[in-house]
Structure 1
Amino acid sequence: MKLYIIFKEYSSNVKKQQILTAILFIILGALSGCAQKDIDYSKAAADPAFLRQSVDKLTEVITHDIFSPPVASRIYAYPQIAAYEVLLHDYPEYRSLAGQLTDFKGIPQPAPDSVYCFPLASLNAFLTVSRSFTFSSEMFDGYEAQLYEKYRAIGVPEDVFARSIRYGQTAAKSIIAYAAEDGYKQTRGFRHTVSQAPGHWVPTPPAYMDAIEPFWFKLRPFVIDSCNQFAPAKPAPYSTDKESDFYKEVMEVHTVTSNLSEEQVQIASFWDCNPFVMHTTGHVMYATKKITPGGHWLGITGIATRQANADMMETLEAYTRVAVSLADGFISCWDEKYRSDNIRPETAINTLVDEKWVPLLQTPPFPEYPSGHSVISNAAAVVLTDLYGDSFSYVDSTEVAYGLPARSFTSFSQAAGEAAISRLYGGIHFMPAIVNGAEEGKQVGSYIVSKLNTRKRTGEGAAVAVME
C-alpha cells in the first residue's frame, strides 16, 4: 500500500514536472516567436555604407572600362536616379524627381499592401542600371552576392527579400527605358572633322586620338533648359601677333609651366583625372587608367556624407544631386568645346614658341575651350555647398588609390578652385578656359540648386509620382 502511494505521488510529481516543462516551452516559444516577429531590420538595412560601397564599385568598373569623362557622367547619373526614386518610399519628406528632370515621369510604384525592404530594392536598382551601362558587368557579381548576403544576415525575410529585388529590377527597367531616349544612342559612331584652319583643335601626342564625343551637346539635359543656356564668352581669336590676347595666353602657359613649384606639380597631378594616359618607352606604348573628374567629385561626395553622418536617404540625395550636376555640366561644356573648336596649348606652344615643349599632364583628346574640369568641379561644389555649407572642411583621399597623397580643403569651393587652376599648371588649358569655365559651372550648379527640389515643403502631401 505504501509502495503504491509512493509510486502514485512520484508519478503525479513527474506529470506535474512534465506539464510545467511543457508550459515553459510554450511560453519560451511564444516569446521567441514574438521576438522573431518584432525583429527590426530596417535600421541595419538602411546603412549608408552599403550605398557608398556600391558607388565606389561603379567607379571601379568605369575606371576599368576606360569610359571618357562625359560618358562616365551619364553612367553615374541614371543609377543614382533609380536608387533615389525607390528609396524615397521610406522617406515621405522627400520628393520624387518626376516632373523635375526633363521628360521624367517617374517609376512604377510598389504594391500598396505588400512589405518591402526599400534600401535593398534601391541598391538592386542602382546595380542593375549600373550593369546595363557598363561593359564589364561581371565585375559586379561578387560584390552584389556579398551585399545580398549581408541583407539576409540582418534578418530580411525571404519573401520580403524576393519582393524587394523584383521591385528594384522593375524600377531599374523603367530608368533604363528613360535613358534610352536621351539621344546617346543616336550620337554613337559620329566623328569630329578636324579643321585645317589655324587655331583649331588637332589631335595631340602621344596617341593622337580622335576627338571624344563631338555630339555630346545633343544629349537631353537633366535639369538645365538647353546645352547652351550658360554658354561662356567666346575665346580670344587665334593670332601670331605677340601683342594679341591669344599670344599672351600662350606665353602665360609656357611661363607658368616652366617655373612650377613642387606644390603646383602636386596640385596638377591630384586633379589630372585623365581616364586613359598613354606612355611611350622606346617603341613600346602602354596606358594607365585613372578616375574621371566626375568620379573624383562623387568620391568627395562620399567623404562628405560620411563626415556629416548622413543617413542613407541624405547620402543618396547628395549623390543624386551631384551626379545630375556633373552630367548637365558636361553637356553644357561640350556644347562650347565643339563650337569654338579651340587649339590646345601643346599645339600652340609647339607651333609658335617652343617645338620641344611638353605639358606636365597629357593633353586630353578634345578641344580646349572651356575647361571641362573647371565647369563640372564648380557645378558639383555649388551643389555640395548648398547641402553642407560653405565652410565644410574635409580631407580628400579619393586619389590615394591611384598613388597620390590626400589633400585637405576648407570648403568645396576651394577644392573646385584648385581643380580649375590645376589645368594651367598641367599645361593643358589657357586661363580664359579656366576662369570662364568655372563661372559656367557655378551657373549650372546654381540653376540645379534652384530647380531640383528633393525635400518637400511644409504641408506638402506625401503622394509620389506614378509612371503612366
Structure 2
Amino acid sequence: MAVWPLVTGVVIAGSPVELGSSFAYASDSRAPANAVIVWDGNAQTAIWDIAAQQPQVQARSFAMVHGAVYDAVNAIAGTPYQPYLIAPAAKGTESTDAAVATAAFRVLTALFPAQQARLETQYDESLAAIPDSAAKQRGITVGAQAAAAMIAARRNDGAFGGQTWTVGTQPGQWRPTPPAFASDGAWVGDLKPFLIPRASMFRTSGPPSLTSRRYARDFNEVKTIGSATSTVRTADQTQAAIWWHDRHLAEWEIKRQLATTQGLNTLQAARMFAMVDLAEADATTACFNEKAAWSFWRPITAIQLADTDGNPETAADPDWTPLLVTPPHPDFTSGHTCFTAASMSALAYFFGRDDLPFSGYSAASGTTRYFRGFSQALAEVINARVWGGIHTRTADVQGAKIGGQVTAYMAGHYFRPKR
C-alpha cells in the first residue's frame, strides 16, 4: 500500500496499478493506438480547440466523456471495478475500440450538436479501422448505452445557469477587475457534483481577516512578486506563471503522456482518465462554491484599495497591475489549485507513487516544463498563481486542500476493485 501526502496535508492511500497485465479484447491487438487516448484528443478538439470552453466549463465536458467511456470498457472487461453509473450487459467479446468511440462520440454530439458533422467524420474513421463483425456491433451497443446513461444523468444538472457573482463595495469584497471588468462562471459552484454528495462538502474557514498578519504576509508577497513589473520574480517564475495560466491546459497532454509511457491498456486508461477527470470536475465545482461563499477580492483590488483594509502592514498602490490577466471571479479559493490538486492526487493514487516524471508544453509561454512527480507539479502551481499576481497564497493552499479532499472522497467511494 503506497501512501502519498499532499503538500496541504491530505493523505491519500492507494495500491499501484498492475501495469504489466493485459486484457484480450476484441480489437485491441490490431489497434494502432489506445482508443481512450485517441478519443481524449478528439474530445479536446471539440471542447477547447473549437468550442473554446474555459477550464471551469471544460471540466464538466471531459468528465462526461470519460465517465461514459469508463463504464463501457469496464462492462466489457467483466466489471472488475465499480461502475460509475451503469454496467451495460456484455459478454467480454465486444470490441472495446467500438465501445470507446461510440461512448465518446455520443456524449460529445450531445454536448456540441453544432459539431455533429465533424464528429461523425472522426467517428466513422474510428469505426472503419475496426473489422466488421458481431463484436463490433455489440461494442457499439455497449458504448451507446453508457453514453445514454451519462447524458441522462447530467440533464438539468445546473450547467450554464444564470447565477452571478455578488459584487461588493466594502473592503475585502469582490468586484470585477480590469481590463474586461467581467463576471463569469458563477453557475459552476451550483453544478450537480459527479462524485461528492454536495458542492459545499469541503468548506474552509475562509480567507484571513484583513487586519491579520497572515493577510499582510499574503498581500505583500503577491504585491512584490506578482506585479507586472516585479524586479524579484525570476525569468523561470515568470514562465511558470504563464505556463500554468494557459487556457490550453497542459494537464490534458500530461494524462495522455502518462497513459502512453506507462503502457496502460484500454481498461487501465479508461479508469485513470475517469478518475482524474471526474475528480477535477468536482474539485472545480467545490472551489467555485467556495468562491461564492466568501466572495473575496482579488489581489489587484486589494492592493489598489489597501488604504481601506485597516491593516497597518499593507500599503496601497493605485497603479499596481498583475503579471497575468485576473480571471472574472473571486480570489478565494484558487480554481486552478483545486483542479490541479485533484488531478495530481488522483494520478498519484492511481499509480500508487509520486515519482513518475512527465512534462507539458505551453504555446502561451513557448516552453516545456518538466516534473519529477505529482507533488512537485502541485507545489509549483500553488506558487505560480502568486507569481502571476492573481491569487493570494492562502487561496492557493486552501484550494489545493479542497482538490485533495475531493480525490480522497473519490478513492473511498468510486472506481474501486470489486471484491
TM-score normalised by the shorter chain: which range applies?
A: 0.7 to 0.9
- Structure 1 contact 423–434 (Cα < 8 Å) conserved: yes
Q: List per-residue Cα deviations over 1:219-260 (Å, max 9, x = no partner).
A: 222222322222122102335xxx754344222111123211
Distance 1:425 1:135 in 2: 39
1:171 maps to amino acid: A
Q: List per-residue Cα deviations over 1:301-325 (Å, max 9, x = no partner).
A: 2111111111011011100000111
Shift of 1:406: 1.7
The equivalent of 1:117 in structure 2 is 95
Distance 1:437 1:350 in 2: 24
Give the TM-score normalised by structure 1. Answer: 0.75
Distance 1:215 1:208 in 2: 18
Counting only pairs closer than 5 Å after superposition, residues 260-409 of structure 1 correspond to structure 2 as 260-273=233-246, 290-292=247-249, 296-352=250-306, 353-399=316-362, 404-409=366-371
SS at the partner of 2:206? coil
2:387 matches 1:414 = no
The equivalent of 2:191 in structure 1 is 219
SS at the partner of 2:59? helix
Counting only pairs closer than 5 Å after superposition, residues 40-189 of structure 1 correspond to structure 2 as 42-44=27-29, 49-63=34-48, 64-92=50-78, 94-98=80-84, 104=85, 106=86, 108-110=88-90, 116-134=94-112, 136-137=114-115, 138-151=117-130, 155-157=131-133, 159-184=134-159, 188-189=161-162
Distance 1:108 1:309 in 2: 26
2:179 matches 1:206 = yes
- Structure 1 contact 129–172 (Cα < 8 Å) conserved: yes
- Structure 2 contact 251–360 (Cα < 8 Å) conserved: no
Q: List per-residue Cα deviations over 1:319-363 (Å, max 9, x = no partner).
A: 000011101101211111011000000112222322222211111
SS at the partner of 1:406? strand
Distance 1:223 1:160 in 2: 32
- Structure 2 contact 158–187 (Cα < 8 Å) conserved: no
Which protein has greater RCO, CA pairs closer than 8 Å, 6+ apart?
A: 2
How many positions carry a matched residue from both structures? Answer: 380
Shift of 1:366: 0.5
Q: List per-residue Cα deviations over 1:124-144 (Å, max 9, x = no partner).
A: 111210221136524424322
- Structure 2 contact 82–418 (Cα < 8 Å) conserved: no
More helix by share: 1
The equivalent of 1:235 in structure 2 is 207
The equivalent of 1:37 in structure 2 is none
The equivalent of 1:14 in structure 2 is none
Shift of 1:52: 1.0
Give the TM-score normalised by structure 2. Answer: 0.83
1:405 maps to amino acid: T
The equivalent of 1:33 in structure 2 is none
Shift of 1:425: 0.5
The equivalent of 1:26 in structure 2 is none
Q: List per-residue Cα deviations over 1:275-311 (Å, max 9, x = no partner).
A: xxxxxxxxxxxxxxx324xxx3233221111111110
Q: List per-residue Cα deviations over 1:402-453 (Å, max 9, x = no partner).
A: 5632211111111111112110000000111112222222222122112223
Residue segments in structure 2 that go unaligned for 5+ positions in a row: 1-24, 307-315
SS at the partner of 1:95? coil
Residue segments in structure 1 that go unaligned for 5+ positions in a row: 1-39, 99-103, 274-289, 458-468
Change (3 A) 1:90 1:45: farther
Shift of 1:215: 3.4
Which sits farther off after the overlay, 330-339 or 349-358?
349-358
Shift of 1:203: 1.1
The equivalent of 1:465 in structure 2 is none
Structure of larger gyration radius: 1
